[in-house]
Chains A and B, each alone.
Chain A
């Protein structure tokens, strides 16, 4: 049963459907819905959407974001951790994070909720 529907290495490179001025994450928390199961395989993470039966593959950076979302959920914490781990300008990191989160929520692989 080969994985299908992979968004793979292009996940961070492909364009977002969101308005670039829309700040999707600073005031939000994300969680992994129960219809999504996953596991890390080396530096990738494979996701399966149980509702559609479609597999997705996350590259290494998206996998790290996914792991932090699972552990913390709150985006400010995720940003803080990523800035500590990667040598990247905050604006660039936030733009990449926004693209990843936008794609994952658009595909219903993540649930978004406002921070309390």
Chain B
């Protein structure tokens, strides 16, 4: 995704605020939670940060094959677009973890869980973090990643 300038983001938000204050308020949560996620990830172990943001780290083996992405409401999709626009200006390293924590906080009522997985799909090993609801990734396709798991004994 191409980076969107903070000024354009602010102008966009102000335009939304003039039309729909409720939506503008919901969108205003996104940068605040993103900043909190940044602090959380810099100061806490991952498992603890994930739990605080409402998505305990799921380290159980996945049940069955990957499911299609979990559906999101129009308001959630709106927030995700704002989040991705903000993250396009964020350092790339660890961006998925920050995204995951914000998604978790925004969808806390839907009992999200954090997954961390690895893939060899594009040469070399890649790690990724994502949020699952009911075993399905939220608004992204993660089937190429094998979830990391805890020891079985």
* A contact residues vs B (CB 8 Å cutoff): 1-3, 31-32, 34-42, 44, 46, 48, 50-51, 53, 55, 57, 70-71, 73
Contact = CB atoms under 8 A, between A and B. Distances in A.
Interface stretch (B68-76, B104-112, B123-131): B123-131
Nearest to B150: A37
Nearest to B41: A53
A73 B45 CA distance: 26
B45 A51 contact: yes
B153 interface: yes
Contact of A37 (B45, B94, B116, B125): B116
Q: Is the interface of B mostly helix, strand, loop or mixed?
A: mixed
A109 B125 CA distance: 20
Contacts, number: 73
Contacts of A38: 148-149, 151
A1 B120 contact: no
A33 B57 CA distance: 15
Contact of B96 (A1, A44, A71, A73): A1
Contacts of B97: 1
Interface residues of B, number: 30
B46 A50 contact: yes
B115 to A, nearest CB: 10
Contacts of B150: 32, 34, 36-37
Interface in B139-153: 146-153
B125 A39 contact: no
A2 to B, nearest CB: 6
A40 B150 CA distance: 12
Contact of A39 (B46, B117, B128): B117
A39 B146 contact: yes
A38 B148 CA distance: 5
B126 A2 contact: yes
Contacts of B94: 1
B128 A1 contact: yes
